[in-house]
Amino acid sequence: QVQLVESGGGLVQSGGSLRLSCAASGRSFSRSGMGWFRQAPGKEREFVAAITWSGKTVYADSVKGRFTISRDNNKNTVYLQMNILKPEDTAVYYCAVGRFWSVDYGLGQSPDEYDYWGQGTQVTVSS
């Protein structure tokens, strides 16, 4: 049974940092794309960042230059380092495993490309 478990969320002041982790179990995802999405209250789930199995990355414009996605295939884990956090980053953050092999041409940015999802971790940024 595939399971994704996020951790690392919490409350942080504006300008602070957090590092989210997502540990996958049930099978190896070393050849799968992985990504992070977020959903704020009253809003739709939105793309944050994605990484291919080979380490190529893509980011939403709103987080580019502040967030970094990375992965450790030996640990079946994907990370999201979030710096210079803003109140508008407040949301539930979800990790997911997808079917994309590239992040070119907009690939990896749609929830429809993902097959497995974690339960989410809350990130709250106070002003």
- For 40-91, how does the pLDDT look when each residue is reduced to its tens digit (9 = 90+)? 999 999 999 999 999 999 999 999 999 999 999 999 999 999 999 999 999 9
* pLDDT for 113 beyond 90: yes
Banded pLDDT at 37 (limits 50, 70, 90): very high
What is the residue-wise DSSP string for the chain?
Answer: --EEEEE--EEEETT--EEEEEEEESS--TTSEEEEEEE-TTS--EEEEEE-TT--EEE-TTTTTTEEEEEETTTTEEEEEE-S--GGG-EEEEEEEE--S--GGGTT-SGGGEEEE---EEEEEE-
pLDDT-derived band at 21, boundaries 50, 70, 90: very high
- Predicted pLDDT of residue 30: 86
The confidence band for 28, taking pLDDT boundaries of 50, 70 and 90, is confident
Query: What percent of the chain lies above the pLDDT cut of 70?
Result: 100
Tokens of 107: 């690939």
pLDDT (0 to 100) of residue 74: 92
Is residue 27 predicted with pLDDT exceeding 90?
no
More confident residue, 1 or 80: 80
